[in-house]
Structure formats: structure tokens, C-alpha cells
Chains A and B, each alone.
Chain A
Amino acid sequence: MKFRVAALCLVLVALPSQATERWKFDTKLAVTGDPVSGVYPHLDGAGRKHLAVTSQSVAAIWEDNRSGKPQVYVARKANDRDRFSTAMQVSRGEAYEPAIASLPQNRFVLAWEQDGAIHARILTDSGLGMPVELASMGASHVSLASFGERIFASWREQQNRLWFVKVAALSVTAAGKLGVESIVPVEVAGLETQVLFPSIAVNDAGLCVAWEDRRAGHTRLLVSQSPDQAQSFGEPQHLNEFLSNRNQYDQGNGVTRVSLAPFAQDEILAAWMDKRRGGLGYGIFAALGSDGGAIFGPNEKVHGEAGDRQPHYNPAVSGNPNGDFVVAWDDFRRGDSDIWLSAYNEDDEWSQDFSPAIASGAGEQSHPAIALDDQGRLHLLWMERGDIDAPGRLWYGRAMPR
């Protein structure tokens, strides 16, 4: 009997660690300095692409108002260093919601909204390249994806009162300048209703864009795939399932802030906030896409049972060519906000939720961005505030796979 009780205890103790602690965090570094009164960093870009890694370094991009106006900043850290560089100002005017993606040879591409226009530039070991304007007015919510030397940017744009999701194919010239090869709308016909926060991902099989779409009279997530490097796009498909039809007023539950990332050779992970649980607030739901996002599987609930009765916010996703993928988000199930992670377990089911100690505890830890590198190391960027309205700072953490 004693043996059985001991064995049961061992199982109960062992199960959570097997299910949740897939990574062990060994590094926590400040990206920005101590909180400064009146300075508020934000990580609110489309698709939450605020962190990118190369084989030699990691870079973070964000917006804050240290100059008196919202501006975009970037900081980077070489793998063999234990501190981030001084923040470099990327934007001018008034700027918001940036994105970053990595390129070969330890370079990064950056994009952001500036005074209603979309701008992009390259970051190399030598510093920032000249900015290039991708859209001149009425544009916002830019997101980035890269695959080798190929770079793609998506954003929303309003022209003559009609809304478009647009995608640019970019390249880096021999002189190291960022060039625009093409800009096409995902759908040729503009919409009278808004499109919001498109997210983009690319791999060997193709490129896909997912966004919040209001043409149905409520918000649905649509996704469209391009097999020819953003020269043309397929008919948009529904990403989220419509699980409510309770009465004449009901056209489906709320969905918002979709994030996309490639994984394996040709697959795409999508995750978003989904209100299908009704008055419990948003859950985190996901779908796995194949053939570069041409086909997505059924919706899957990401957060575990422990989070079933709480609202969840700000999902970020990342994957690597080895087939690993992970979702991060924040929620306040323990009173104030903490960062949470989930990934597939050995049974190809979403693991129990895991809150890294470095990104939880007292205060508000929220708005994660993640990058999973080719070695399976998980890089995490997040915002921390003493309380919900206090000045903030940004932290970076790195975890090794167990």
C-alpha cells in the first residue's frame, strides 16, 4: 500500500514537469533600463513580431515615448554578450507598432507605422540603413516575414474610403539597400468595412497572410495564401470556426489579434484570441496549416484546463525548421498578469500551461514576443510594469530545450 501511495505521489509530481517544462530559462537581461516616470514601452505590433534571432545575435523592436512622442526603437545583443546595445531610434515623426525579421549574415529588417505611412529599413552590424517608404498614407498594422534573403511585409491601407490588406515583396540590393520589388493587394476589390492587424508568414511552400475582417458584419479571421512569392493571392479562407448561432443577432463569436509563424518545412502555425467561451473572455485558439498555409486544420484550444475560466491576451507564436513550435500569451489567473507558454507534448496535444519564473510573479508581465531558433532555444521578450498603469520596461529571456 505504501508503495502504491508513493508511486501515485511520484506520478502526480512528475506529470506537470513532463507536460510543461519543455524549456529551462537560463538568461534574463534588461532590454530597456529601469522604469522611468512617464515612459511607456509597448509591444503591440501586428502578429507580435517584436523579436528576431540570427545565428549570431538577437534583436528586439518596440515603441516608447521617451522622446516625448511615440517612437520606434531597436536594440540588439550578440550571442556572446550579456547585455543589449543602447536603444537606437528607428523612426521619426510619430511612430507605432513595429515589426522585425531576421536575415542571413546577421542582418535584420525592420518595419513600422510613421504618421500614417509604412516604413522599413535594414539593420546590420554597421547600423541602420536608409528607410524606405512602403505606403504613403492611410496605412498601419505592418507585419514582417523573411525566408533566406526573401522579405515580405503586410499592412492594412485605406484608399478612397476602401480598405485593403497589402503585401510587399522586398529585397536587399548588392549595395545593402532595401528595395521594393512589388506591392499587391491580397484582394483587388477594396472593402467598405475595416480590415485589422494582418500577420504574415513564409516558408518553402508559400506565403500566407491572416487578418481580422469585418465584411460579414462582425469580425472573422480570414487567411489567404500566395504560391508565387506575393505576386498573387488565393481566395481568402475562414481561419476561425463559427461556434455560435444562438439567435437572429448572432453571427459568430469575437476573434482578434491573429499571429502567424512558419514551422517545419512547409507548415504554418496560427494563434489568436477567441471569444467562443462567452462571458469568460478570450481564450487562446490555434490552427496548424500545411502547404505554406494553403490548408488549415481544425481550431485547437491552446490553454490548458487551469486557464479555462480566465481571459487570455496577446498571443505570440514561433516555430523552427525542425518542426518545433510554441505559443506565448499573458493572463491574470494569479491576480496580476504573467507570461504563459504552451507547445505540443509527446502526444501531439497542447501541454499544460507553463509560466516561466523569470516572466511571472509580482507586478504585471505581459505582451510577449517569442522566437524559436534552429537549436530549439526559446527567446522571449516581454513588458513588465509594477502595476497596470505604471511606467514599464522590457526584459529578454532565453531558454534551453530540456
Chain B
Amino acid sequence: MLQMSRLTITRLCSVLLCLLTLSSGSVLAAPPEGYNFLPLTAASEQSSANNKPMLLYFGRYGCSTCRKMHAEVFSDAAVNKQYNNEFVLAYVDTESGNRIRLANGETTTEMQFASRSRILGTPTFIYFSAEQKPLFKKAGFQSIEQMNHYGDFVAQGHYRTMSLQDYLASL
């Protein structure tokens, strides 16, 4: 399991929790079809307002592993149902110039946000609790079974009592 470093969590907390608005002209590059992916700031606001966990998907236009996951994993009805119903979904295009405006006054692009978040490859998924706390990061291809397990771990609140590693071992 890829554990999030304290530095990464600190960076994501400091940036995500102060997100305010995203320019209205933003265009999502290529999240999977059939999902309610939102620009990051809108998703962050919705997650906070509705007390729902958030999945942050760092993708790239044309990313081959992203395409494979869209075709072989996100196409699964159970994955679709769980993530659309139980998560707020956010998508960041790691090469786009779409602007993110932070509450502290800084405006940056999705590309710069991804680089400062030390995202090396796509897809990278970061799961957040309903309390907006980053829980864990998964990079690269994830299977249907893995996505279901991660979803259950977060949506059912198991993260409050055990690590993801322990949860997966208990299944």
C-alpha cells in the first residue's frame, strides 16, 4: 500500500482546505463517463457541505492507464453506483492551465497544483474522509475489487478504527 507521507498530507491539507473558487471557464479534460466528477474546488465545497467523503482523481488527457481504468474498472456498475452515491468526485487534469483560486489569494493552475502535490504519475487517487482529511493515496491501475474495497473502507468509516492495510487483511 502506498502510504501518504506526512509532508504530502500537510501539503494537500493546506491547499485543499483553503480552496474557494475555480474559474467558471474550467473544462474537465477526461474523467470517466457516467460519473459526477466536478472541478476540485466545487467538489471540496460539496464534500464539506454534505459531510461526504471525497475521491480526488489526478488524471491526464490521453493517459493510457486512465483509459484502461475507464474501460475496465469505471465501467463496472457496482463501482459506478458506489462512487457516484457515496463520494463526492473531483478531477484534476495534471497538464491543464485551468485555474484554481485559493482562499489565501493565490491563483494557480491545475498543472502547478499537481506538481506541488508531488503527483508523479496518472492515474493517482487520493481519498478524503468526510471531515476533509486525506486518508491514503493510490497510484497506477486499480482493479474493480480494489476500488470496491477502498470505497467500502472510506464510505463505511472503517478508517476511523483501522488502517487500510489492516482492513484489506481482514477481508
Contacts and interface: CB of A to CB of B under 8 A. Distances in A.
B68 A247 contact: yes
Contact of A256 (B95, B105, B118): B95
A247 B97 contact: no
Contact of A250 (B64, B106, B116): B64
A254 B62 contact: yes
B132 interface: no
A218 B121 contact: no
B95 A44 contact: no
B151 to A, nearest CB: 23
Nearest to A39: B105
B140 interface: yes
A39 B108 CA distance: 13
Interface in B89-129: 94-97, 99, 104-109, 111-112, 115-116, 118, 120-122
A81 interface: no
Chain B interface extent, by class: 35 or more
Nearest to A70: B107
A244 interface: yes
B63 A196 contact: no
Contacts of A246: 64
A321 B115 CA distance: 34
B15 interface: yes
B67 A249 contact: yes
A246 B104 CA distance: 43
A296 to B, nearest CB: 21
A218 B97 contact: no
Contacts of A281: 120-121
Contact of A196 (B97, B105, B122, B140): B97
B88 to A, nearest CB: 23
Interface in A104-147: 116, 140-141
Interface string A246-263: 110111101011000000
A257 B139 CA distance: 23
B106 A65 contact: yes
B62 A44 contact: no
Given A141-B97, A197-B97, A313-B115, A249 B105 contact: no
B61 A218 contact: yes
Contacts of B60: 219, 254
B71 interface: yes
Q: Which of A216, A219, A257, A332 has the most CB of B within 10 A?
A: A219
Nearest to A392: B106
Contacts of B158: none
B168 to A, nearest CB: 22
Given A219-B61, A219-B62, A279-B120, A194 B15 contact: no
B14 interface: yes
Nearest to A311: B120
A256 B62 contact: no
Given A252-B62, A254-B62, A279-B139, A388 B97 contact: no
Contact of A140 (B63, B67, B97, B106): B97
A38 B104 contact: yes
B11 interface: yes
A210 to B, nearest CB: 15
Interface string A197-220: 100000000000000101011110
A196 B15 CA distance: 25
A194 B29 CA distance: 9
B67 A42 contact: no
Contacts of B122: 254
A363 to B, nearest CB: 14
A278 B94 CA distance: 14
Contacts of B78: none
Given A40-B105, A389-B11, A251 B120 contact: no
A142 B116 CA distance: 24
Contacts of B61: 214, 218-219
B95 A68 contact: no
A280 interface: yes
B66 to A, nearest CB: 8
A388 B106 CA distance: 12
Contacts of A141: 97
B27 interface: yes
Interface in A281-338: 281, 311, 313, 332
11 contacts: A39-B105, A40-B104, A65-B107, A96-B107, A116-B25, A218-B63, A244-B64, A249-B71, A250-B64, A257-B111, A311-B120
Given A214-B61, A249-B65, A256-B111, 12 more contacts: A40-B104, A40-B106, A44-B108, A196-B96, A219-B61, A244-B64, A250-B64, A252-B62, A257-B111, A279-B140, A311-B115, A311-B120
Interface of B: 11, 14-15, 25, 27, 60-65, 67-68, 71, 94-97, 99, 104-109, 111-112, 115-116, 118, 120-122, 139-140
